Structure 1
Amino acid sequence: MDDAVDRLRLIRSAHIGPVTYRQLIARFGTAAHALEAVPMLAARGGGRAPVLADPRAIEREQAQVAKLGARYLFLDTPDYPRLLAELENAPPALIVRGDTALFDRHGVALVGARNASAAAIRFARELAHALSGPDMAIISGLARGIDTAAHQGAIERGTIAVIACGIDMVFPPENAALQARIASEGLLVTEYPPGTEPLARHFPQRNRIIAGLALGTVVVEAAPKSGSLITARLAAEMGREVMAVPGSPLDPRAQGCNLLIRDGATLVQTADDIREQIRPIDTRMLRAPGDRYTAAPPADAADSDRRTITALLGPVPVPVDELIRQTALPPAIVQTVLLELELAGRLERHAGGRVSLTT
């Protein structure tokens, strides 16, 4: 893409996350125009402009991605996965290695405990093999335990691995051979540039991609506070199917799945059970990739609007919809003020469309 460097500069700059990126492109039309506007917007938000990414660093990143045999998929392009593009916080750019045609299959996320039981690992491997095929791909996070078993079961028939680090990194180390095979025979996906270490804060972000790519998420074995339940919660918030395999109440590793079923997840035990629950989304009803990025007229806020909105914010996250309701201001004005505050480093965005002032 002609403006790939500008897009990546915007993505890699401080205080510019997926939601902010989307709003900047929608308002200014191009990444180049958005980059020019960032200092002005940050000043209105009462802070210093964020340090924008160096174009030379971006060019080095692009060269490294190409050297690794990977490529970029940008959010408003035809080859970006359309289900994932529906998320408000969809990654502005993905880095992928492998067969992107797997995005065209119906995706099922299969996740679970890292310290899974031997029986659960075998079950997940066999389930993934039975589900995967010409019409369906298995999506997971390449973690130990259930994730690894899911990829192993589906590797010959179609699997997508979403990782929480750069595409040149391997985590966990024992999955080096499996990761290389997925990049060759399946599809390896990340939103992080090469060289990024697998830090703890990256894994919840990875989980939203796993859930966002899939029509439904299946949890095989999980403790009550595991990352797999985060993936299931995210899938539910996206309006996707959530399924769980029941387990013994005497096994702590099954408690998470049993709680999901108690709270409304569908109990599944076979590949046929899962296929019955998957209702393919009619992609003809999805918005075209560029629809949400057409340039919108500026929604400049008055100083009084900024004071009103900022006064309602604090360290406790509050839904953006609640700010709109309490201020009675147009949503575009509220979003503009939040955008300015975020670029100034004064606002933090949270899951579920909530925001708070930075502490």
Structure 2
Amino acid sequence: MTLSTAAQATLLLTSYFSKPVKGAPKPLTPIEWGRFAQWLHEKNHAPGDLLNHTAPWVLGKWSDEKIPRDRLEALLQRGSSMALALEKWQRSGLWIVTRSDPSYPKRLKKRLKHAAPPVLYGCGNAGLLNAGGLAVVGSRKSDNEDLTYAQRLGAKATQAGIGVVSGGARGIDEAAMQGAIQEGGPVIGILSEGLLKAATSKQWRQGLMSGGLVLVSPYYPEASFNTGNAMGRNKYIYCLADAAVVVHSGSSGGTKAGAEESLKKSWVPLWVKPTHDTEAGNQALVNAGGAWCEERIERLDIGSLLAPARTQLFQETLDQPDSVLLQESGLGTEPSESEPDKTVIYDGLSTVADTMANEAQQKSETEESNVAPSAEEPEAGWHEESATKLATVPYPDLFGSGNASDQKAQDVTQSAAPEQVITETADSKEPERPMTESITESRETNFEPEQIDFYQLFLRKLQRLAQTPKAVDDIITETGLHKTQVNTWLKQAVEEGRVKKLNRPARYQVITE
């Protein structure tokens, strides 16, 4: 296991390498690490500076009553313990990702900011950490009806191309994850204890070997059950997902507390399964802001559970200035954390404004228009205007042309009142107007996120892209969308008779009227 000096310093300051010993210095909590990393960044230092000859000089400038200097120095002297622990964990197939690594989950940084765990231990397919999907949670003590519902929900989500996120505990968590694993995943399990044991257990072997499962934990990999860790783990389940379903909640306990925290902080839309258990806390969660979902699993529309999350994220990113994105991208001084993350990752969804602006620019270049751009038009490049005047919103060019991996982020400069963009449905009978005219007209009214129909934008792109049969991977590359979202929309388009599916190999082609 090869770690950068920044990762080594982060581990030494924030992690346990054996069971806690009375009197030994306690590693920094996520909040404490965030404060210390902020200070390092402001002083133009990197975590790696703490492991070379400049360490005494760097720490000599640090002064904090809650994080005394001698505590930091003692934590940094644990190099031998760290080496032995890393060797042991590596033999069991564990890996480590720190907040300074580019593979660190972007959703955690965005939603938890400074409270995001500085280190994640994991096993399995690390590429799934940013997959997102549907969180399925519930009590450890649930009846067979709820366990069956959770298992079928996990399987149905996977069949729809949507990932499953859960906590790996016995009961609802395990049932949902196993249902998804049987269908091939992707599955993200966030454990509060025993990651080292789970990495070699028969329970998760199929998912780990197939590459459809990743197990992660922010806690010591050999930790035994701890109520505090179990409660603290809940927020990571919600923050790694895009929507959540509570299958069964007790009137008190971790499931209810975690769901209430998510509702309070508006992390993801919360859905609650109806129950006949009069002692359950499901009704209380709906009263607190959750919403009932379909009780009959065969009638449940998985895609509809994620739709509110798309609208919510769209509104959040519309109003978010560049400076906020910088803060949310992490506080380490490695390049992946010190620089703002210039793409907002969410199942590959872009805004209609970005889409229409890109299409307008392409059309203008093709026709060699001589019309000078208005001062109100979006301007290419990145801006550092005051957040009180402008909201600079970076987006990936997800519906533009070209290879998605080579796309550069563009920004749409919005005024204080978000602007409305008028979209055109596929069956509209009105003649198509120049895109630039649509953009100009859209600036005259206020924007309502509920009017956005990303599926229709996808179909419009598909009309140009799939005149001849195209494989799913080609469509993903051209649109820049997440695989789960492409599969969901392709399935819907086939059912509506807009697209036909060809087999051997699987390809898709639009049906021309």
- TM-score by length of structure 2 reads 0.51
Q: 2:33 matched to which residue of 1?
A: 21
Query: d(CA) in 2 for partners of 1:244 and 1:111?
Result: 10
Match of 2:308 in 1: 277
Change over 3 Å in CA distance of 1:290–1:214 after alignment to 2: closer
Query: 1:104 & 1:132 partners in 2: Cα distance?
Result: 16
Name the counterpart of 1:75. 99
Q: 2:219 aligns with which of 178, 181, 192?
A: 192
Question: 1:23: how far off?
Answer: 1.8
Residue 240, structure 1, aligned to residue 268, structure 2: yes
CA 1:42–1:73 in 2, change beyond 3 Å: closer, same or farther? same
- Residue-by-residue CA offset, 1:295-337 (whole Å, 9 max, x unaligned): 9xxxxxxxxxxxxxxxxxxxxxxxxxxxxxxxxxxxxxxxxxx
Query: How far off is 1:220 after superposition?
Result: 0.4
Q: Give the Cα–Cα distance (whole angstroms) in 2 for the partners of residues 48 and 133 of structure 1.
A: 53
Specify whether residues 21 and 119 from structure 1 end up closer, same or farther in structure 2 by C-alpha distance, changes over 3 A only: same
Which of 325, 330, 337 in structure 2 is aligned with 1:287? Answer: 325
1:117 Cα offset (Å): 1.0
Q: Are residues 6 and 15 of structure 1, via their aligned partners in 2, closer, same or farther at CA, if it must alter by over 3 Å?
A: closer
Map 1:83-162 → 2, pairs under 5 A:
83-86=107-110, 87=112, 88-133=114-159, 135-155=161-181, 156-162=184-190
| Superposition deviation, residue 210 in structure 1 | 0.9
Q: Does structure 2 conserve the Cα–Cα contact (< 8 Å) formed by 1:217 and 1:235?
A: no
1:314-329, aligned counterparts within 5 Å? none
Question: Structure 1 residues 72 and 287, CA, compared in 2 at 3 Å: closer, same or farther?
Answer: farther
> Where do residues 40-55 of structure 1 align in structure 2 (5 Å cutoff)?
41=62, 44=65, 49-50=70-71, 51-52=74-75, 54-55=78-79
Deviations 1:217-263 (A, max 9, x none): 21001111121122212322153211111112x432xx211111122
Query: For the residues of structure 1 that align with 2:67 and 2:190, how far apart are their CA atoms?
Result: 37
Instruction: State the AA in 1 paired with 2:325.
Output: R
SS at match of 2:325: coil
Q: Which has the larger radius of gyration?
A: 2
Rounded Cα–Cα distance in structure 1 between residues aligned with 2:127 and 2:64:
44
Change over 3 Å in CA distance of 1:240–1:48 after alignment to 2: same
Deviation for aligned residue 1:158: 1.8
Matched, 1:226 2:250: no
Q: Supply the distance in 2 between the matched residues of 1:291 and 1:84 (Cα, whole angstroms).
A: 10
Amino acid at match of 2:309: I
1:91-135 CA distances to partner (integer Å, 9 max, x unpaired)? 101111111232332321100011111111111111111112574
Higher mean alpha-carbon deviation, 123-132 vs 225-234, is at 225-234
Distance 1:215 1:56, change over 3 A: same
43-52 or 268-277, larger mean C-alpha shift: 43-52
Q: Distance in 2 between matches of 1:267 and 1:46?
A: 45
Point out the more displaced range, 237-246 or 106-115.
237-246
1:202-221 deviations in whole A, cap 9, x for unaligned?
11121121111111221001
Corresponding residue for 2:195? 167
RMSD, matched Cα: 3.0
Which whole-Å CA distance do the structure 2 matches of 1:204 and 1:119 have between them?
A: 25
In structure 2, C-alpha distance between the alignment counterparts of 1:276 and 1:63, rounded to whole Å? 44
* Conserved 8 A contact 1:72-1:95: yes
2:237 alignment counterpart = 210
Task: Give % identity.
Answer: 21
Q: Distance in 1 between matches of 2:119 and 2:87?
A: 16
Structure 1 equivalent of residue 14 of structure 2:
11
Structure 1 residues 48 and 187 mapped into 2: Cα distance closer, same or farther (>3 Å)?
closer
**Is contact 1:161-1:182 (8 Å) kept?**
no
Please give the alpha-carbon distance, in whole angstroms, between the structure 2 residues aligned to 1:136 and 1:187: 15
Q: Give the TM-score taking structure 1 as reference length.
A: 0.71
Cα distance in 2 for partners of 1:194, 1:15 equals 15
Give secondary structure in 2 for the equivalent of 1:217: strand
Distance 1:46 1:67, change over 3 A: closer
Q: In the alignment, residue 31 of structure 1 is paired with which amino acid?
A: P
Structure 1 residues 39 and 212: alpha-carbon distance in aligned structure 2, compared to 1, 3 A threshold? farther
Between the aligned partners of 1:290 and 1:195, the Cα distance in structure 2 is 29
The aligned residue for residue 64 of structure 1 is 88
| Structure 2 CA distance for aligned equivalents of residues 203 and 114 of structure 1 | 12
**Structure 2, unaligned stretches of length 5 or more?**
16-24, 295-299, 335-513
Give the letter aligned to residue 277 of structure 1. P
